[in-house]
Amino acid sequence: MTTRKDFLRGQRIDPKPITGRETVPELVDNAFLAYNAGRLADGCRLFTELMLEDDVTVGMSLTGAMTPAGLGMSTIIPVLEAGFIDWIVSTGANLYHDAHFGLGLTMHRGTPFADDVELREQGVVRIYDIFFDYEVLLSTDAYIREVSAAPEFQRPMSTAEYHYLLGGYILEREKALGISRKSVLGVAHQCAVPMYTSSPGDSSIGMNVAEQALTGSQLRFDPSADVNETSAIVFDAKTHGGKSGILIIGGGSPKNFVLQTEPQIQEVLGISEKGHDYYLQMTDARADTGGLSGATPAEAVSWGKVDPDKLPGTVVCYLDNTVGFPILAAYALAKRKKRRLKRLYDRREEMMRQLTEAYQEAKADRDARAEATTVGRRH
């Protein structure tokens, strides 16, 4: 039975006055004591102390217009290079807008209070308080179509394969322009971090690939490959005595895609598993509207997405990701040494072979049990 003393074991609320000389970790640990600041502090410690252990494979989902706001360069690239993120599921829009920077194109701080009719007349596109020239879209579209027409793209492929190839081309363009570390796609290529898009048709990248299909291109995104490859990543982590951690930035389809890897393994493939070990989400979505974006880790347990034994350690922070994500990254980069890159993209075939063999074994066992049951009924 829980006693009064047990309830009062938490850190005493008695913070030191802020001086202006604090590091990010000092500010988080000393001043982020309650409400969503408290949850962010919990999330920083969960990520840094547990999820970044060497035996944990960390997947990240990414929604919202994060790369147009500069978070690709300021936040995502540093954590990729530090080995803190091993695989990613992103909206296509984040990767499309990320490409602008690798192509030397610019986006600018603006205002949410501009006249949008006037912006349209002047050829300026707005993402809330970000402005950019309409030509940025046209130039990026043209580049994606040109690259995607190359011979190595003329086949069905997973979105990770497509983004890896595209990232290689963007690296070459950065080199030609004399710039570097501008594109997440480029750095993910260098670090062999596989990047998936759960809805590849729902972005300008998908739109340009669709245009090429009308002209005879053989490029097709293979959603089944994405489902199986992401499941293979999680299965590989758990099979070799490691753990799986999920960092969810926002919600939406990418959130479900990183989490559904466990139901795919357990429910569909019939392989014994318990769920992801660590779950950290930053979101502004509420749970009571019934949407997936706001669904809690407790609800995820009912689907087999999260290991029920690990539920007490899950964290959800209800805040703006443009505030919370950089703080999380700064905390982790200050507290942890870089991890060895897992380079999961290079291991896709090996991991798929492991998953396929485990599935075939589980299916054979199910079929044998079903046959035994049928024979028993006959007698």
Q: Can you give the three-state secondary structure of 67-127, one letter per residue? A: CCCCHHHHHHHHHHHCCCCCEEEECHHHHHHHHHHHCCCCCEECCCCCCHHHHHHCCEEEE
The pLDDT of residue 287 is above 90: no
For domain 22-372, give the CATH superfamily: Deoxyhypusine synthase (3.40.910.10)
pLDDT per position as a tens digit, 306-333: 999 988 889 999 999 999 999 999 999 9
pLDDT average, residue stretch 230-234: 98
- How far is 99 from 75, CA to CA, in rounded Å? 16
What's the pLDDT score for residue 313?
Answer: 81
Q: Which residues contact 64 (CB under 8 A, 6 or more apart)?
A: 91, 94, 249, 250, 321
Catalytic annotation, residues: 305
What's the pLDDT score for residue 378?
Answer: 62
The pLDDT of residue 375 is above 70: no
| Global pTM exceeds 0.85 | yes
The tokens describing 242, both together, are 């490691």
What's the pLDDT score for residue 65?
Answer: 95
Domain ranges of the chain: 22-372
What's the pLDDT score for residue 289?
Answer: 85
Q: Mind giving me the DSSP string for 206-223? A: HHHHHHHHTTT---EE-H
What's the pLDDT score for residue 303?
Answer: 87
321, 282 Cβ separation under 8 angstroms: yes
Dihedral class, residue 375 (left if φ above 0, else alpha if ψ from -120 to 50, else beta): alpha
Mean pLDDT is lowest, of 137-151, 170-184, 307-321, for 307-321
